[in-house]
Amino acid sequence: MKKNKLALGSLLMAIILLITACSGSGGSSSDGGKPVEIVMAYLAFTDVSDIQTVEDEINKIAREKINVVVDLMPIDGAAWTQQTNLLLAGNEKIDIILTSSFFNYNSQVSRGQLLELDELLEQYGPEIKNTMPEAIYNGTRINGKIYGIPSVRDFAADYGMVMRKDLVDKYNIDLSKVKTWADLTGVFKVIKENEPGIVPLVPTTQTYQPTRAMYSPEIDPLGDSLGVILIDDQDKKVVNLYELDLYREKLELVKQWYDAGYLSADAATTQEASANVVKAGKAFGYFNNLKPGYAIQESQLTGYEMVSVSLSPAVIQSNSASSFMISIARNSTDPVAAMKFLNLLYTDPDVMNLLANGVEGKHYVKKDNGFIGKPEGVTETGYQFNQWEIGNNFLTLVWEGWDADIWEQTKKFNESGKVSPALGFSFDQTPVKSEVAAVTNVQNQYLVGLESGTLEIEMLDNFINELKAAGIDRIIEEKQRQLDEWAKANGKK
Amino acid sequence: MAHTWRKVWKTFWRYKALFLMLLPGMVYLFINNYMPMFGLTIAFKDINYAKGIWRSDWIGLKNFEFLFMTKDAWRITRNTILYNAVFIVLNTVTAIGVAILLNEVRKKFLARFYQSVLLLPYLISMVIVGYLVLALLNLENGFMNKVILPAFGIDPISWYTKPEYWPYILTIVSLWKNIGYLCIIYLAAIVGIDPEYYEAATIDGATKWQQIRSITVPLLMPTIIILTLLAIGRIFYADFGLFYQVPLNSGPLQPTTDVIDTYVYRGLITLGDIGMSSAAGFYQSLVGFVLVLVSNLLVRLKDKDQALF
Amino acid sequence: MRSNDMNQTLVNLFFILASAACIFPFLLLFIASFSSEQSILTKGYSLFPSEWSLEAYRYLWRNVDAIGRSYGITVLITAVGTTVGLFISALLAYPLSRTDMPLKNTLSFIVFFTMLFNGGLVPTYLIYTEVFHIKNTLWALIVPGLLTNGFFILLIRTFFRNSIPKEVIESAYIDGAAEFKIFFRIVMPLSLPILATIGLMLGIAYWNDWFNGLIYITDSKLYSLQNLLNRMLQNIQFLQQTNLGGRAEGATSLPTNAVRMAMAVIGIVPILLIYPFFQKFFVKGLTIGAVKG
């Protein structure tokens, strides 16, 4: 009997404890003078074990300058969508959050999860708009309001190929003669004939096949590629990308390469990122969108010195601004404090250097020529960040190995870009969300196979038919309607 | 009136101990499952978090559209049901067979070894299984294309672009992964059978096969029934890992590997629409629910005690 | 007698083949974790890699603090979760199994209904974080979704109903025993096979769970083993599936193929070592004796 009573009693205790664990957490009121606490969530998929040190240093400055302390919340890429959805669904404390057109920025706005920033910007972040081109600053507006501030980084993109320099030199390949995608065929031939274990071209990732890099500079994907405009088309006529001649041409070229063995045979199912395949000595190069310093960045990833060749002019597309932004969440208890901190991120080099590079002496050391590098003998620093995400990168110090004037180069590069007539437009998928779901499934069935050269070109017709059956024309109609409305409202006729 | 209330109270008091036993579990189910049930309404709403879930607008069945108005709707439904039907039958029969055979192994040490080994596949995550299958079916390096097929003089096959093979591949993978786990349940039930039955049958001259048919299987019926009923309730759900990870999300395979869960997942990646995913779940639950009610009724007609409820 | 031996040989042969089918992939996994990244990328997984290497385990060793800690967390939540969960499940199943229990069909339905209809992730998350505040606590790894469910409860109920003879319970009544005593002294000891089965299933569920950790835990000190490993794996997949405009500078420091295999190995091996101890509960004779005696 006793044993039973004891067991039962402890069970009941456990349950009671469970239920009473919901002691209400008193909201922390900020007294005058006490610093306001804000929480900032952002994407991190590298080693940030030393984040507390960095946070403390940042807060020393933030406390002094604006009486705000920040709690950094890095979230892994794997958990990002789930965790941010949940964070924004309830009332948890979160003030600043990374947003992006890649991560459902539009839906977040239409679901009321982000705050309007226009007034806050004017009052507490007036200098932010001077850090980037006006078109970009306004490029994230939805229904005329700003909900996200772009990070200052490379906005334009030109497309081309990056490849192993040692092989280029070995076969005396003259890259200055390579001006179009078709010119690469000759280069691939040389590699294929002389290097049996090396594939000339591999896909960048399973979903980013060579064809994509080839057509991207000629269009503006208008968010999801379901209905695009030609980048030179000032009339902004929305068309079906997959029905365009230019799409078919690119596919045919890629198919040629695939059949000749210039493209890896398992391109459609590969689980390896291109840099890793090059690193393993199995590939020559791959396509991507370039930027100043891209080849240097890839060299670090692959372990081989890489050289890039640009095969298109630089373009700025409608989601160039919104690909990485920072926003204030609806949950924020003190949006003013949040905006003040954001202002720091765009204007204060000390804070940005801490966030981007870590603590001086611990995570990096200053070298004589103005560069910074890893401290002597250290391989894992405990802090690695992805700069392009947040804030004003032009303020940060340059790592050795890059060009000293990399930020100047980037700025110029941004200014040289051909601007899409639709920059600043963002498509709201809600009215056609059922069609989008159906069309996305069709895309998934054909896209990778076609764009990797694995499927026969005839399948393109099947693809187009199924897209139509799934409702792509309705999507295009809706997109055109929204685009025209936006153009009128912004005086862009 | 008062008379019936007294009766109710008396019955309750008589069984108070049993009701008390129910309490912890029921409280848990209440917190974990019933409290969040208000979420079922999300399927019928257009959620706006500024208004909150309660005050968001009702939009009827709009969230369900994407499941039906696509020409793929028939295909994914057919795939889901067919695969699950095959899995239920095949996995059950095989699990019982394996459990019976395991019970027959005389050296107990060996039996325990086999049991542990059979459980191994269940412990490997589907992501890794996907890589292992790739090691088998890779176009260039795969075990099949490099070793097995040449041994029979067959040319290499591009497995990941030929949908016709995959119903077999996925069925085999599902069997391989789940048998060890499933047969444990049946084994536990078999162990509970009084050996006197078998002794008596042997004395009467029954063969092993006859014994299995007339003693083991009938006594296993309760377990079989309940596992099957539970499986029927999940008939519109599929193992996402199996249908998404193992085929490596290869497009050309979709005609035979696309099920409701993968369709919903792919369709909603860019949309992130909680209403639509909730609608999909609701649809899957509803169908399973109806099917179970019907099956349960049929079981009740045969043997009241074996029904779920 | 001879046919019996033949049977034994056949049966054993069958199992040897089945075991091979199960061991072979695991062996591949195991050996791949000791292969060099180079040999995997150039020649794929193989039982006889061209190059052996301890690099994968060395990489994991660099994170030994995090991994060791996560092992501890996992062991803790598995032990607590399994014990409490098993207890609650059996307690709930017993009254449902008694034919004289009033309302048993309604209650069974209430239990079963939870298996079919679910409010969804967001409402569940909101309840647990805003009503019960379990985010970033150990409770979050033990309670949500795992503690017990209709499947286990109904399985135990079936076992109770069909393998515990009514006579035993009736004779205990006659002897004047109370319900709880009957439950603990008679029913539970007779149910070792099913308890061991459900206990095993609960244990595996807790050991392998990475999902609760993914959504409820942001404090890396509370990562369970599978949560940690899964994050690492999914981060790789994430980077490889999403081309973030050519900006993934972090890709160099991410684990490679061999490390993925090594992570799988260290996740599975502990279970393999502990499982044999559970098996003695599946032996005949333990239960029958109790009924007779």
Predicted local confidence at residue C249, as pLDDT:
45
Q: Are residues A361 and A419 in the same domain?
A: yes
Q: Are residues A437 and A418 in the same domain?
A: no
Q: Which of A104, A112, A434 sits opposite B272 (nearest CB)?
A: A104
> CA B171 to CA B164: how far, in whole Å?
13
Instruction: Please answer yes or no on whether C204 and B123 come within 8 Å at the CB atom.
Output: yes
DSSP A157: B
Check pLDDT > 70 for residue A88. yes
Instruction: Please answer yes or no on whether B160 and A269 come within 8 Å at the CB atom.
Output: yes
Residue-by-residue DSSP string for C79-142 = HHHHHHHHHHHHHHHHHHH-TT-TTHHHHHHHHHHHHH----HHHHHHIIIIIS--TTSTHHHH
* Residues in A touching C256 (Cβ below 8 Å): 276
* Residue at token pair 């890649």: A102
Residue C192: Cβ within 10 Å count:
20
List, as ranges, residues 127-166 from A with C-beta within 8 Å of C.
Answer: 157
* Residues in A touching C246 (Cβ below 8 Å): 204, 288-291, 294, 297
List, as ranges, residues 199-258 from C with C-beta within 8 Å of A.
Answer: 214-215, 218, 220, 230-231, 233-235, 237-254, 256
Largest CA distance in chain C: 78
pLDDT in tens, C249-274: 444 445 567 888 888 888 888 888 87
pLDDT in tens, A200-224: 999 998 888 999 999 999 999 998 8
Whether C135 is covered by a domain: the verdict is: yes
Name the minimum distance, in Å, from the CA of C122 to any CA of chain A. Answer: 6
Q: Give the CATH number, domain containing residue C153.
A: 1.10.3720.10
Provide mean pLDDT across the span A81-103.
89
User: Token digits for B229?
Assistant: 């009923």
- To the nearest 10 degrees (0 to 180), the angle between helices B166-191 and C2-32 is 120
* Residues in A touching C88 (Cβ below 8 Å): 11
Q: Are residues A144 and A200 in the same domain?
A: no
Residue C5: Cβ within 10 Å count:
10
* Residue at token pair 């039996």: B111
Whether A68 is covered by a domain: the verdict is: yes
Q: Are residues A131 and A39 in the same domain?
A: yes
- To the nearest 10 degrees (0 to 180), the angle between helices C64-97 and B16-29 is 140
Q: Comparing A75-79, B3-7, B36-40, which segment has the lowest mean pLDDT?
A: A75-79
> CA C152 to CA C148: how far, in whole Å?
7
Instruction: Nearest chain B residue to C265 by CA: give it.
Output: B124
**A290 at interface of C, judged by CB pairs closer than 8 A:** yes
Class of domain B66-306: mainly alpha
Nearest alpha-carbon partner for C155 in B285, B182, B22, B121? B182
Confidence bin at C241 (pLDDT 50/70/90): low
Helix H or strand E segment including B7: helix B2-14
pLDDT in tens, C82-135: 999 999 999 999 999 998 898 999 999 999 999 889 888 889 999 999 899 999
Provide mean pLDDT across the span B52-72.
87
What is the tally of structural domains in chain C?
1
Helix H or strand E segment including A98: strand A96-99
Last residue of a domain, one of A428, A450, A470: A428
Check pLDDT > 70 for residue C288. no
Whether A404 is covered by a domain: the verdict is: yes
Whether A219 is covered by a domain: the verdict is: yes
C-alpha angle A66-A71-A73 in degrees, rounded to nearest 5: 140
User: Token digits for A35?
Assistant: 């610093």
What is the tally of structural domains in chain A?
2
Identify the residue with better confidence: B29 or B267: B29
Nearest alpha-carbon partner for A357 in A377, A386, A379, A380? A386
Q: Are residues A423 and A436 in the same domain?
A: no
Q: Which of A11, A90, A273 sits opposite C130 (nearest CB)?
A: A90
Predicted local confidence at residue A381, as pLDDT:
58
Q: Are residues A346 and A411 in the same domain?
A: yes
Q: Are residues A319 and A369 in the same domain?
A: yes
User: Token digits for A469?
Assistant: 């059956």
Structural domain of A140: 33-155+314-428
Q: Are residues A142 and A52 in the same domain?
A: yes
Check pLDDT > 90 for residue A338. yes
Task: Name residue B284's beta-bridge partners.
Answer: none
pLDDT in tens, A6-46: 444 445 444 444 443 433 333 333 445 788 999 999 887 66
Q: Give the CATH number, domain containing residue A371.
A: 3.40.190.10
> CA A87 to CA A97: how far, in whole Å?
10
Task: Name residue A161's beta-bridge partners.
Answer: A287, A309
Task: Name residue A158's beta-bridge partners.
Answer: A290
User: Token digits for A287?
Assistant: 């396509």
Predicted local confidence at residue C36, as pLDDT:
83
- A1 Cα distance to chain centroid: 64
Q: Which of C14, C112, C151 sits opposite B101 (nearest CB)?
A: C14
> CA A339 to CA A335: how far, in whole Å?
6
pLDDT averaged over every residue in chain A: 85
Percent of chain B with pLDDT over 90: 41
Whether A369 is covered by a domain: the verdict is: yes
Q: Can you tell me the ipTM of this complex?
A: 0.86
- Alpha-carbon distances, residue A369 vs A66, A372, A403 (angstroms): 33, 8, 11
Provide mean pLDDT across the span A463-485.
94
Instruction: Please answer yes or no on whether A441 and B263 come within 8 Å at the CB atom.
Output: yes
pLDDT averaged over every residue in chain C: 83
> CA C145 to CA A141: how far, in whole Å?
41
Check pLDDT > 70 for residue A453. yes
Q: Are residues A150 and A37 in the same domain?
A: yes
Predicted local confidence at residue A31, as pLDDT:
41
Q: Which of A79, A86, A277 sits opposite C125 (nearest CB)?
A: A86
Check pLDDT > 70 for residue A3. no
Confidence bin at A397 (pLDDT 50/70/90): confident
Whether C89 is covered by a domain: the verdict is: yes
pLDDT in tens, C187-197: 888 888 888 88
> CA C112 to CA C151: how far, in whole Å?
8
Check pLDDT > 70 for residue A387. no
pLDDT in tens, B135-190: 889 887 788 888 889 889 888 888 998 999 999 999 999 999 999 889 888 988 88
pLDDT in tens, C23-76: 988 888 899 889 887 788 777 777 888 888 888 888 788 778 888 899 999 999
Confidence bin at C1 (pLDDT 50/70/90): very low
Percent of chain A with pLDDT over 90: 43
pLDDT in tens, C129-151: 989 999 999 999 999 988 888 99
Q: Are residues A71 and A117 in the same domain?
A: yes
User: Token digits for A370?
Assistant: 């103005």
Predicted local confidence at residue C281, as pLDDT:
64
Spatial contact of B56 and B48, defined as CB atoms under 8 Å apart: yes
Last residue of a domain, one of A380, A402, A428: A428
pLDDT in tens, A242-293: 999 999 999 999 999 999 999 998 888 888 888 888 988 889 999 998 888 8
> CA C278 to CA A329: how far, in whole Å?
50
**Tell me, what amino acid is at B267?**
G
Instruction: Nearest chain A residue to C215 by CA: give it.
Output: A83
Q: Which of A271, A436, A442 sits opposite B248 (nearest CB)?
A: A271
Structural domain of C138: 63-254
Q: Are residues A420 and A463 in the same domain?
A: no
